[in-house]
Copies of this chain bind each other. A is one copy, B any other.
Amino acid sequence: MLEPLKSKIVPGLKENIDAIELVVGYPAVPLTVDCVIFGFDENSLKVLLIKSDLAQFYGKLSLLGDKVNANEDLDTAANRVLLERTGMKQVYLEQVHTFSQPNRHPGGRVVTSVYASLLNIQDHSLEITDNELNWHPIHLLKEMAFDHKEILDCCYAWLQKRIQEHPLALNLLPEKFSLRQLQHVYEAILDTKLDRRNFRKKFASMGLLIDTHEMELNVTHRPGKLYSFDHAQYQLRKKNGVGIDF
C-alpha cells in the first residue's frame, strides 16, 4: 500500500510515510470560498450578489463564490474569486466562518469558507457584471440560492458586532465628516435609530475624534462641525489595549 505513496516523500524525511498514510485515510471534501461584500451607499447597506448559474436555483441570488484550487490557501482563493467576479483588487477580506452542513449544496458535499468585507460603493466601480452582478439592499433579500441567506444573515450579525468593536465603519466616510454622517452610517448598518445625545457622548468619551475646526458646507440642515478620526491614537491604544466592555 505504501508503494504509490513513496513518490510524494520529501527526500531525507523517511519519517513522513506515516503522515502520508494518515492523510490518505481522511475523507476528501470539495472546498469553496464565498465572499459577502457589504457596501454602503446613500445611507443604506447593500450587498454584492450575482444570479445563480444553476438550473435548480434559476433566478435566485447567490453570493460570489467558487472552488478553491489545488495548493491555494483560502485567503488567496477568496481574493481571486472577488477579482474574477468583480474586477476588484485590494479589498480587505476577513474570514468569518466555515459552513459545512452536509446537504447545503445540491451537487453533493461542499464545505465553504466565507469571507466578508465592508466598503464604500462610491469607491469601487464594478468592472465585470457577469451573472447580473449588482448591489442589492440588504433588507429586501428573502430567498437565495443554496444556504446563502443563512450565510448572509450570519455575516450581517458579524458585521453589526464588528463595527461596534472596531472603527471599520469610519472607512465609509470622507476624511472629514460630521457626527450626523457618522451616526447615519451606524444607524444604517445596525438597522436601528440611535439616540443622538448618547451617540455623541459615546464617541466623545472614546477620545478618538479630532475637531478639524471646520464646518459642513452646502448642506440643507444646520451645518455641523467636521471631525477626523485619530488613527494614531487608536493604534496606540490598541497596542496598550485593555478595553473590557460587554
Instruction: Write the residues of chain A forming the contact surface with B, with a CB cutoff of 8 angstroms.
Output: 8, 10, 13, 15-16, 18-32, 53-56, 67-75, 95, 97-98, 100-102, 105-111, 113, 163-167, 186, 190, 192, 194, 199, 202-203, 206, 208, 234, 242-246
Given contacts A55-B18, A164-B243, contact A108 B8 (CB under 8 A): yes
Contact A19 B54 (CB under 8 A): yes
The distance from the CB of A11 to the nearest CB of chain B, in whole angstroms, is 13
Contact B245 A27 (CB under 8 A): no
Contact B107 A19 (CB under 8 A): yes
Identify 18 new A-B residue pairs, CB closer than 8 A, beyond the known A13-B106, A26-B30, A203-B244.
A8-B108, A16-B107, A19-B105, A19-B108, A20-B106, A22-B53, A23-B105, A24-B107, A26-B31, A27-B30, A27-B68, A27-B70, A28-B29, A73-B102, A74-B111, A75-B100, A164-B246, A202-B244
24 A-B residue contacts at CB 8 Å?
A16-B56, A18-B56, A19-B54, A19-B106, A24-B107, A26-B110, A27-B30, A27-B69, A28-B29, A28-B31, A29-B29, A71-B102, A73-B102, A74-B98, A74-B100, A74-B111, A95-B97, A164-B242, A165-B245, A202-B245, A206-B245, A208-B246, A243-B245, A243-B246
